[in-house]
């Protein structure tokens, strides 16, 4: 019998903070009305079931990653040569070989190691936790990016999936710190026995058992979030905002209810981005930073799930040097 794998911290990693952030979206807007003109659906049907009004498509995984990363570097005040490692979360690499992170490294002018990480829609949190781990091992600055071209693996004639996905990227610069500890708790999980409910063959498109994914996703998100909160020694009342994977508004509503956190504390950009896989959490978080919702000292719960089936969560304290 295959058992699911879980990794979590008994003590939080120390000495790291987020100092830069940036996002990018595909340049072409595809509205629900656009889709309704090509298949048997409607704006009302899509919006009611998913919370999505439009999605953005276009570009390449590398190009979107570079745009988001350049913005993050500018916010942080770092130069490309200051970065010690690039971690690129993606399920949609531009090439099977080499890793897309190699092209991103080249285009940004980085002089450091680079690697892709594929944990599907949980990938950004996996990469974020890995980045903090590398800081604990001695690196000074880590660039973490989630970038996806899901339009590349979408069957645009399949109503059940074509309405969901978009293209985008989000990036964080992480820096070591002697005085701040942004990562308070984290949890990473995977249950490979659930591979068939959400997958795409090499060269194929996404196949999804929607109802089963919904049920498993809500359970996985709430269990992961509770584990991170327990290890960070915080309660739902201590969480200022939840930054969930932007997959479906009904999944977010159900997870928030199970976590006993008011829905108005969930950050969502789903209506204007669609599901952007590993890019969705940074897209939502940066949106809330830029509009002033997230303030100094806020505890943020990042939580996601994805194909695999993976799940991941992290508690971040948005410190005084993060704004």
Task: Give me the active site residues, please.
Answer: 121, 245, 275
155-185 CB burial, b ≥16 within 10 A, e <16? eeeebebbbbbbbbbbbbbbbbbeebebbbb
Neighbours of 49 (CB within 10 A): 16
Which of 219, 289, 319 is closest to 72 using CA atoms? 289
Query: What totals of helices (H) and strands (E) does the chain contain, helices first?
Result: 10, 14
Cα 311 from Cα 116, distance rounded (Å): 18
Which residues make Cβ contacts (< 8 Å) with residue 320, sequence separation at least 6?
296, 297
Burial class of residue 77, CB neighbours in 10 A (0-12, 13-18, 19+): exposed
Which residues make Cβ contacts (< 8 Å) with residue 139, sequence separation at least 6?
84, 85, 176
Cα 229 from Cα 108, distance rounded (Å): 36
DSSP bridge partners of 310: 190, 306
Give Dmax over CA atoms of the chain in angstroms: 57
Cα 125 from Cα 187, distance rounded (Å): 9
DSSP bridge partners of 314: 186, 302
Cα 267 from Cα 188, distance rounded (Å): 21
CA dihedral for 52, 194, 145, 178, sign (positive or negative): positive
How far does the chain reach from its first CA to its final CA, in angstroms? 47
């Amino acid at each position: 019998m295959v058992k699911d794998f879980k990794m979590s911290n008994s003590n939080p990693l120390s000495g790291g903070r987020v100092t830069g952030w940036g996002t990018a979206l595909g340049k072409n807007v595809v509205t629900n009305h656009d889709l309704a003109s090509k298949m048997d659906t409607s704006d009302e049907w899509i919006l009611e079931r998913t919370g999505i009004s439009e999605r953005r498509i276009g570009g390449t995984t590398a190009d979107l990653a570079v745009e988001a990363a350049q913005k993050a570097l500018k916010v942080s005040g770092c130069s490309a040569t200051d970065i010690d490692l690039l971690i690129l979360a993606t399920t949609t690499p531009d090439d099977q070989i080499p890793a897309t992170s190699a092209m991103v490294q080249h285009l940004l002018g980085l002089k450091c190691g680079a690697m892709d990480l594929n944990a599907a829609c949980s990938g950004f949190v996996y990469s974020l936790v890995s980045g903090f781990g590398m800081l604990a091992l001695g690196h000074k600055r880590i660039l973490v990016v989630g970038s996806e071209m899901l339009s590349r693996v979408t069957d645009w004639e399949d109503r059940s999936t074509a309405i969901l996905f978009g293209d985008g990227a989000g990036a964080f610069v992480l820096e070591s710190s002697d005085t701040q500890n942004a990562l308070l708790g984290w949890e990473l999980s995977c249950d490979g026995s659930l591979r068939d409910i959400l997958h795409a063959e090499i060269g194929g498109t996404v196949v999804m058992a929607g109802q089963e994914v919904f049920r498993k996703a809500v359970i996985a998100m709430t269990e992961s979030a509770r584990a991170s909160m327990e290890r960070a020694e915080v309660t739902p009342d201590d969480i200022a905002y939840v930054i969930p994977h932007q997959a479906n508004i009904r999944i977010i509503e159900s997870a928030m209810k199970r976590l006993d956190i008011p829905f108005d504390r969930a950050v969502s950009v789903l209506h204007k981005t669609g599901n952007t896989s590993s890019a969705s959490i940074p897209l939502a978080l940066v949106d809330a930073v830029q509009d002033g919702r997230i303030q100094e000292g806020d505890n943020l719960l990042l939580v996601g799930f994805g194909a695999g089936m993976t799940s991941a969560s992290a508690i971040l304290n948005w410190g005084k040097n993060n704004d």
